[in-house]
Amino acid sequence: MSAIAFPVPDAGILARRDAIIAGLAGLVAPDALITSEDERRPYETDALTAYRRMPLAVVLPSTTQEVAAVLRYCGEQGVPVVPRGAGTSLAGGAIPQEDAVVIGVSKMNRILEIDYANRVAKVQAGVTNLAVTGAVSADGFFYAPDPSSQLACSIGGNIGMNSGGAHCLKYGVTTNNVLGVTLVMLDGSIVEIGGGHLDAPGYDLLGLIIGSEGQLGIVTEATVRILRSAEGARPVLFGFPTSVEAGAAVAAIIGAGIIPVAMEFMDKPAIEICEAFAHAGYPMDCGALLIIEVEGSEAEMDAQLARIVAIAREHGVGTVKESKSAMETAAIWKGRKSAFGATGRIADYICMDGTIPTGQLPFVLERMDEIIKGYGLRVANVFHAGDGNLHPLILYNCNDPIEAQKAEDAGNDILKLCVEVGGCLTGEHGVGIEKRDLMTVQFNEADLHQQQRVRAVFDPRWLLNPAKVFPLEGRIAA
Amino acid sequence: MLHTPTTEAQACAVVASIVEARVPLAIRGGGTRTGLGRPDNAVSTITSAGLTGITLYEPSEMVIGAKAGTPLKLIEETLAARGQMLPFEPMDHRALLGTEGEPTIGAIAAGNISGPRRINAGAARDSLIGIKLINGRGELVKSGGRVMKNVTGLDLVKLVAGSFGTLGFLTEVTFRVLPRPERIVTLIWEDLADEAAVALLSGALGSPFEPMAAAHLPAGIGAEEPRTLLRLENFSASISYRAAELARLLKAHGRPELVEGRASDALWREVRDASFFAGTQEAVWRLSLAPTNGPRATAAIARTVPGARWFYDWGGGLIWLAVPVDGEAGAAAIRAALKPLGGHATLVRAPDAVRAAVPVFEPLSEPLMRVTAGIKKSFDPEGIFEPGRMYAGI
Ligand SMILES: Cc1cc2nc3c(=O)[nH]c(=O)nc-3n(C[C@H](O)[C@H](O)[C@H](O)COP(=O)(O)OP(=O)(O)OC[C@H]3O[C@@H](n4cnc5c(N)ncnc54)[C@H](O)[C@@H]3O)c2cc1C
Ligand SMILES: Cc1cc2nc3c(=O)[nH]c(=O)nc-3n(C[C@H](O)[C@H](O)[C@H](O)COP(=O)(O)OP(=O)(O)OC[C@H]3O[C@@H](n4cnc5c(N)ncnc54)[C@H](O)[C@@H]3O)c2cc1C
């Protein structure tokens, strides 16, 4: 695939490469600077592997001060910077460019402070999402946003993308669970935004930084909310004849005033792929599967489930299967959370991430099917049913350039459909390069210019992750 | 001059004419929070009173949208009729500020106005999912939309929430909503000192029993005896179970009394609206800090500001503080007390002269003030909207 354009590398910067590397070498420890081609290669892409660009150099600082020194230097030299966490972005958000320095926070991976009385933890940006929960789980606490990539992805990357997960129906996404950050700005100044308290003074800069995809500065530390885990949690599998009944059941559950912790949807192809991988005991005789998780004491879970089962029965549910053990629970979630990886074992895929108003679900599923068939492709659907965040996985063969192009076109058609029915291009993966050129479908010029003027407050010269989020044409600087 | 546009197009034209004339413009919803922020020096006012009506309500999608001037009351009644509510329990400023009029949904967004449920369900900004706003170029700008999960582009929704009209005139806002709980009860412990009370609240909030609100009212705030409050909201069967479990968990602090219905609602309305301080001559501050630092902050303030009274919400992390007005309403002493503890103080109620002399919002560090000025300019290059309401010169 090559449809998405990158900016033409600045020849002047490429010509100065040696001098720039020498300058960087004076700022960080020797093992923090990566320049050889072999060692740079792991940084040339992220999880959108169809696109690759070799960066000028990679810097892996160990302290906020080092990040500040490197950022100030790049700013002074007019060298583009691409912030990087673990490089699991599905939108190409962390893909570099030839004239850019990658600043990765992976070495800053310490948990600095855990404060149970105030229910917060202070962590460095390179800590993995799962490590935060890992550090507090023995004491009965957890960090709520749980992207399926949580074993690998970093808190810095989660903040970059405002990531979500299966359990955010009840607990919210990253922006609802971060109370403060340490941000290094392009001129090297280090600012504290928010902290251990709930509301920061002045404009909500924290809300602006979260989801800004590395365009406003580099986050080096974060204060996150940790929550006490429920007494118990139990996922239940509901097999419906078709996705229409499953969609109607979701609406009816919410309409009845019940907000389960998670409501995840899989269609038949997705069920088959995930079951083959995880052996989770998913029912194979249904057209659509809902995984609904409830929490609380045993009696509370029984009571809530009884209500949910009654509603599901009204909507023609076939199989209802409760998890009976911690092992079954783990297998059920493993199947769902490895949906992308399991799909990757049978085909190449691109993962869409549009959100739709849930009432549009039956219409969108039908239209999506037509779109995919129109291109002669196959799709597997997993999504967060409670909030309408779809993840169609479009299957294709990456060695066939024509099919690859078709897959990309089909994906674009699906995202346009999401916007047409009142939704948006991306619910949790971010715009990156992938949806950059579709931004004009969702926003008009005034909308985009206002965003770019805010961006310019932090980076008037388009040096921070410049190839991302906004179409390359028609950009403004202030 | 008062402008009352009835369409977005008219509102754009009004703003464009103001930009042309370069005169300061005040923004008014219901006018119930007019005393918030620094006193304004605007010669023209634009009101959202002509922009009313619910534009979208889908109970099964848990979303409601309305024009900015829609009375909050209409939103709440509409939601209640379908068994739903705004998640963040917005405060009503009228009693505290001694103002009249009908609060509007646009001002709730503009002020990021939240109440006791904020600790569990998030602030107004967490539920605000879409806005339309006229910026200082007279352009209608939209951000967000009507779906909960949305990370498309920079999150201008958050920036505008809590900007008190300084970034533009909101014409329409969309919020996520939640089902109303089946049953609500309040557990009340008596006679605890501040420190013990906050320890109790921390223990409860760190338990699996999900208190939705947690406050402490020291002696003399609404009653002779100190009262420590936890509110549970859930299905009826869960409430009985959780109330009993919490009482057991916290038994070292004594046995709680359980109230529900009107008595419980009225108590939380007083906490939400800080109405213990209504109608007095005192200045009123709002302090936001880490909960366990709450009692330390009030102890330090009590030493340096004679006559200070307070109570805690948000498990100790929000302090409502009333102090004698004289001089600068204790500003220097209060902010000095917070310095070693973290957190910040906002002056919510004081005579105009005091609010003009004292920074109403916590002064920001130099780089953040620069960013703040830059953001203001990016929305409002001529500086027409509510100049100086949040910070002098911005
Ligand atoms: C198998 C798989 C499953 C996934 N499942 C989910 C899911 O369920 N939910 C979900 O939301 N996402 C999911 N993702 C996407 C991805 O994991 C998230 O976007 C994640 O937050 C990226 O984190 P990262 O550390 O890998 O960041 P990167 O990919 O390195 O970077 C992501 C973005 O953040 C910026 N950035 C990184 N670090 C910083 C920093 N310190 N300061 C400023 N900006 C920074 C980068 O420039 C880039 O724009 C999945 C990805 C994969 C491969
Ligand atoms: C920190 C603070 C301290 C205050 N202290 C005092 C005081 O001591 N004494 C006193 O009398 N008053 C005080 N006020 C009150 C205040 O100035 C107004 O009386 C009050 O804002 C009216 O609320 P409402 O709908 O009734 O909305 P309004 O009161 O009309 O508006 C509330 C806020 O939201 C903004 N707003 C409303 N609608 C929109 C919209 N459509 N688009 C964009 N912005 C909008 C307004 O500009 C205003 O900042 C204070 C206000 C603040 C913020």
Quick one: what percent of chain A has pLDDT higher than 70? Answer: 99
**At CA B29, angle to CA B25 and CA B33, rounded to 5?**
95
Task: Please give the CATH topology (third level) of the domain spanning A233-339.
Answer: Alpha-Beta Plaits (3.30.70)
Residue A199 is predicted with a pLDDT of 87
Nearest-angstrom CA–CA distance, B347 and B333: 13
- Round the CA-based radius of gyration of chain B to a whole number and report it: 21
Domain B275-357: CATH class, spelled out: alpha beta
Separation of CA B118 from chain center: 9
Sort residue B168 into left (φ over 0), alpha (ψ -120 to 50) or beta: left
Query: DSSP states of B113-168 as a string?
Result: ---TTHHHH--HHHHEEEEEEE-TTS-EEEEE-S-S----S--HHHHHTTSTTSS-
* Residues whose CB falls within 8 Å of the CB of residue B353, separated by 6 or more in sequence, listed in order: none
Q: Residue with structure tokens 């009262």? A: B227
Return the closest-CA partner of residue B240 out of A167, A3, A297.
A297
Phi and psi, residue B242, nearest 5°: -70, -35
Residue of A nearest to B378 (CA): A453
pLDDT of residue B333: 96
Interface of B with A in 360-379 (CB under 8 A): 361-362, 364-365, 367-368, 371-372, 374-375, 377-379
Query: What CATH number matches the domain at A347-436, 3.60.21.10, 3.40.50.300, 3.30.70.2740, 3.90.1150.10?
Result: 3.30.70.2740
Q: What number is the ipTM of this complex?
A: 0.96
Specify the higher pLDDT residue, B208 or A278: B208
CATH class of A1-229: alpha beta
Contact B371, B159 (CB under 8 A): no
Nearest to A132 by CA among A151, A148, A117, A149: A151
A94, HSE (Cβ side, Cα atoms, 13 Å): 31
Question: Which residues, other chains included, contact B207 with Cβ-Cβ below 8 Å and sequence gap of 6+?
Answer: A228, B245, B246, B249
Tell me the angle at which helices A243-255 and A298-314 cross, rounded to the nearest 10 degrees.
Answer: 130
What does the block give as tokens for B168?
């533009």
| Residue B254 CA: distances (Å) to CA of A64, B207, B257 | 47, 17, 10
Q: Is A471 within 8 Å of chain B by CB?
A: no
Stretch(es) of chain B classified as CATH 3.30.70.250 = 275-357
Contacts of A238 (CB under 8 A, 6+ apart): A246, A249, A289, A290, A291, A292, A312, A317, A319, A320
Task: Identify all chain B residues contacting A172, using CB atoms and an 8 Å cutoff.
Answer: 122, 126
Closest CA of chain A from B311, distance in Å? 17
> pLDDT at position A1, please?
46
Tens-level pLDDT at each residue, chain B (394 residues): 889 999 999 999 999 999 999 999 999 987 666 555 565 566 789 999 999 999 999 999 999 999 999 999 999 999 999 999 999 999 999 999 998 889 999 999 999 999 999 999 999 999 999 999 999 999 999 999 999 999 999 999 999 999 999 999 999 999 999 999 999 999 999 999 999 999 999 999 999 999 999 999 999 999 999 999 999 999 998 999 999 999 999 999 999 999 999 999 999 999 999 999 999 999 999 999 999 999 999 999 999 999 999 999 999 999 999 999 988 999 999 999 999 999 999 999 999 999 989 999 999 999 999 999 999 999 999 999 998 888 888 8
Q: Which two tokens stand for residue A398?
A: 């990456």
- Closest Cα of chain B to A373: distance in Å? 27
Of B83, B156, B346, the CB nearest to A450: B156
What are the distances in angstroms from CA B195 to CA A253, B116, B216, B225, B309? 42, 20, 10, 15, 16
Instruction: Select B2-179's CATH number: 3.60.9.10, 1.10.3720.10, 3.30.465.10, 3.40.50.300.
Output: 3.30.465.10
What tokens does B51 get?
A: 């922009």
Give the domain ranges of chain A. Answer: 1-229, 233-339, 347-436
Nearest CA to B378 out of B127, B131, B154 is that of: B154
CA of A155 relative to ligand 2 center, distance in Å: 36
Bridge partner residues of A180 (DSSP): A194, A223
Task: pLDDT band for A362, please (50, 70, 90 cuts).
Answer: confident
Residue B197: partners with Cβ closer than 8 Å, 6 or more residues away: B189, B216, B226, B228, B312, B316
pLDDT above 80 (res A78): yes
* Whether the Cβ atoms of residue B301 and residue B322 lie closer than 8 Å to each other: no
Chains A and B form CB pairs within 8 A to the count of 250
In the sheet with A178-184, reading across from the earlier edge strand, the strands are: A111-115, A120-124, A218-225, A178-184, A190-194
Query: How many angstroms separate the CA atoms of A127 and A136, rounded?
Result: 14
Give the end-to-end CA distance of chain B in Å, rounded to a whole number.
22
The confidence score (pLDDT) of residue B122 equals 96
Amino acid at B266: A
Digit-coded pLDDT (tens) for A221-264: 999 999 999 999 999 999 999 988 998 999 899 888 899 999 99
- Ligand 1 centroid, distance to B360 Cα (angstroms): 38
In the CATH hierarchy, which top-level class contains the domain B183-273?
alpha beta
Query: B318 touching A, CB under 8 A?
Result: yes
The residue with tokens 């009204």 is: A314
Is A233-339's fold the same as A347-436's? yes
pTM of this prediction? 0.96
Report the C-alpha gap between A458 and A190 in whole angstroms.
Answer: 13
User: What letter does residue B370 receive in the DSSP assignment?
Assistant: H
Element (H, E) at A322: strand A320-322
**Considering chain A, what is the average pLDDT of its residues?**
95
| CATH 3.30.70.2190 domain span(s) along chain B | 183-273
Give the number of C-alpha atoms closer than 13 A to the C-alpha of residue B2, restricted to the C-beta side.
8
Q: Which two tokens stand for residue A243?
A: 């996705």
Per-residue burial over A426-451, b = 16 or more CB atoms within 10 Å of its CB, e = otherwise: bbbbbbbbbbbbbbebbbeebbbbbb
Q: Name the residue among A126, A132, A61, A49 with its Cα closest to residue A89.
A: A49
Mean pLDDT of the region A457-464:
97
| B147/chain A closest Cα distance in angstroms | 6
Helix (H) or strand (E) holding A364: helix A361-374
User: How remote is the C-alpha of B282 from its chain's centroid?
Assistant: 20
Tokens at A69, concatenated: 């020194």
Based on its alpha-carbon atoms, the radius of gyration of chain A, rounded to whole angstroms, reads 23
* Mean pLDDT computed over A25-49: 96
With contacts defined as CB-CB under 8 Å, which chain B residues touch A211? Answer: 151, 154-155
Q: Please indicate if any CB of chain A lies within 8 Å of the CB of B135.
A: yes
With a cut of 80, say whether residue A292 has pLDDT above it: yes
